[in-house]
Amino acid sequence: MSGPVFEIDHPEELERALAAGTDLCGAVFQSLDLRPWSSELARRPLRGAVFLGCEMDPRLLDHAHREEALIFPRFEGLPYNPYRNTLYSPEELYAGFVPGDPGTWTDSLDNRIYRQWHDTGGDTGADILQTLARRIHDHAITDALHELIAGRKVVAVMGGHSLGRDSAEYATVARLGRALARLDRLTATGGGPGAMEAAHLGAFLAPQDDDALPEALEMLAPVPRFDSPGPWLDSAWRVRQRFGSPATTGSGRAGLGIPTWLYGHEPPNVFASHIAKYFANSVREDGLLAIATFGVVFTPGSAGTVQEIFQDVTQNHYEVTGPPSPMVFLGRRFWTEELPVRTLLDAIGGKRDWLDLVHFTDDVDEAAAILGAYSR
């Protein structure tokens, strides 16, 4: 196989290709209902084409076999589509949840997928077909993710999932998310609660007046943590209803959440405009830092955040994803006294240039300015 692959994953793309008489040999058709175009496709050369989980009538299916196309059939009985061609939205993942009725969060698509994952062996005990479906799903998510971020300036915000909505630190991270969005940065996080939710909340409210954030924080404060997922989710949904969803506000920049069903007991936050949810946590963790080519902000966290610091150090040190990018530590005392990372970073970096991109600050505006000034 050589040359770029021609992907067709939306009906509009197929319509354009057919109208233009595009050569479809070797094309990849992803998760499409092809029955409306069956007659026309059955007259076209399709040698080497690939069909990923597509709906095909007998005529097209027979033609594809004769053309020696590669056909990946659909999996039956799964609550998710392994071949999906888009990222998730909060509305899709929480389909089944009824705002105002917190108990219905257990009926959501997200929770049904988590239960199916858990009941079929989780991360270690699943049979070969379950693990195959999950790997295909995660591959499809990665493909959709890279389509989303193409040409975007992605900044990752890392931090603890236990950060309370009623804390000053939560408000600080939210202000940072708002500032980054207003600088046209796409905020990416692990997609969960705590600091991750705060960053997306700020970006979600970036198109609003500044007084929208204090109002939203006041609405969220009565349910500070996700210990009770239903009320936690319901309060967030009320903020969305009050200020509009990312789609209705035009705030596609509200960000990219990248959670995992490995931590399915932590519901994904609803303020990210796009959600790339994975089964494989290792793929998700490495991918989040790899796409943050315009910098990473580390807010106070625990073991997971520290692990992410040194994953990012490795990327900067060896330039495995391109030129080094800023590492901004928000919370000077925490990162220099409670978890004093500076000495170790200096020892690792030696005289490498990436150390000039390491910053410690308590000031949201300074952090945003550092990230906003960076270019590649």
Largest CA distance in the chain: 70
194 Ramachandran zone, left/alpha/beta (phi>0; psi -120 to 50): left
Give the pLDDT of residue 319: 95
Could you give the number of structural domains in the chain? 2
pLDDT band at 124 (very low <50, low <70, confident <90, very high): confident
Rounded Cα gap, residues 337 and 136, in angstroms: 44
Domain-located, residue 93: no
Name residue 260's beta-bridge partners: 278
User: Strands 186-189 and 50-52, how do they pair?
Assistant: unpaired
Rounded Cα gap, residues 76 and 220, in angstroms: 39
- Name the 3-class secondary structure at 70: strand
Domain that holds residue 344: 142-373
Say if CB 18 and CB 40 are below 8 A apart.
yes
Give the pLDDT of residue 265: 86
Give the tens place of pLDDT for each residue, 303-341.
Answer: 999 999 999 999 999 999 999 999 999 999 999 999 999
pLDDT band at 244 (very low <50, low <70, confident <90, very high): confident
Where residue 200 sits, what CATH number does that domain have?
A: 3.40.50.450
Domain-located, residue 151: yes
Domain-located, residue 281: yes
pLDDT of 248 strictly over 70: no
Last residue of a domain, one of 50, 72, 94: 72
The mean-pLDDT minimum among 205-219, 223-237, 249-263, 328-342 falls in 249-263
Rounded Cα gap, residues 262 and 151, in angstroms: 30
Last residue of a domain, one of 37, 53, 72: 72
Q: Are 152 and 266 members of one domain? A: yes
Domain-located, residue 343: yes
Question: DSSP per residue over 331-368, as a string?
Answer: -HHIIIIIS--HHHHHHHHTT-GGGGGEEEES-HHHHH
The mean-pLDDT minimum among 68-82, 235-249, 311-325 falls in 235-249
Q: Are 178 and 322 members of one domain? A: yes
Q: Are 218 and 351 members of one domain? A: yes
pTM of the model: 0.94
Say if CB 265 and CB 118 are below 8 A apart.
no
Domain-located, residue 98: no
Tokens in use for 261?
């069903």
The H or E element containing residue 71 is strand 70-72
Q: Are 295 and 201 members of one domain? A: yes
pLDDT of 301 strictly over 60: yes
Q: Are 276 and 157 members of one domain? A: yes
Distances (CA, A) of 288 to 1, 44, 157, 296, 302: 29, 40, 10, 10, 18
Give the residue ranges of DSSP H helices in the chain: 11-20, 38-41, 58-66, 90-93, 109-119, 128-149, 168-182, 195-204, 212-220, 229-243, 246-249, 281-291, 303-318, 332-333, 342-349, 364-373
Q: Are 60 and 149 members of one domain? A: no
- Name the 3-class secondary structure at 237: helix
213, amino acid identity: L
Q: Are 67 and 146 members of one domain? A: no
Domain-located, residue 122: no
